[in-house]
Structure 1
Amino acid sequence: MKKMHISTTINGDETEFVCAPDETLLDVLRDRLALTGAKEGCGTGDCGACSVTLNGRLVCSCLVLGAEADAAEIGTIEGMATGDNLHVLQRVFIEKAALQCGICTPGILVAAKALLEKNPDPSETEIRYWLAGNLCRCTGYDKIIQAVQVAAAEMRSA
């Protein structure tokens, strides 16, 4: 199978990689680029554990081909923190105990960030709707929703 040369931007950094035409973006991120924050929970786009942004749009990286990243802008959980400073969402998730095992957390954080970039003052219903594609088996969703609400308020006041 012929390999493809891809040039893209990941978390603000210009990146190049080679992949097979049928290789998923999730596999490229994890196996070729050592960006292991996105997790494969289901492989069918049902759980959201592999959520990333592609040109500002929230996607399940298990459903996107690596080749589709050519000339695109990709955002992953690894790009949320700046240096030693956690993103406000990450910090508040820790403070509010809105995470447990860590399989779903990166995808939820990426999805929440995408929501707050689109709507900095979402209602509880909007948060629940936006995060409906992210499944968590360990926590109750209430702490997650509350953490997003607190982070949104902090981000608006900053």
Structure 2
Amino acid sequence: MKHIHFDIIDSTNKYLKENYKTLEHLTIVTANYQTHGRGQFDRIWDSNQGENLICSILLKEKSSFDSIKTKLNIVKYIKSILQTYNIQSSFKIPNDIYVKERKIAGILIESEVIQDDIQYVVIGIGLNVNQRIFGNYPATSIASETTKEIDLVQFTNKFIQGLYKLV
């Protein structure tokens, strides 16, 4: 298990996809900011610098390629974290977690298949932690819901520890 952190990167998912051959199974990439974060259907995942959890994990072992099961486990995991802050959330298909009709998290799963053989799966996770201003997009964060600022480094480290147990 390897954790790589960037202050600024174009996309944590893109980094893992471009470097999967030289990285080990369960490599996690986190960043303070993504210049080109993406969501489902090439939508933009916008996040203020240093305010939210931005991470991606690389799966290379065939036994971990059940992306539907993995996504549902990650959704349950994120919902349980939110519950510890007394935040009630719901899952919106295909990949979003909402609180009171406002998006708080998103999951993006990407893979590469060559001749019917899955080479890797990359799971990107964005979770709004401390951001309070979202422009015109209906979003929220843990800090907005609790009126408490969260130590992002501690939160991220704890999140990663739990994520390793899921996959």
* TM-score over 0.5 (shorter chain): no
Structure number having the greater strand percentage: 2
Q: Greater helix share, 1 or 2?
A: 1
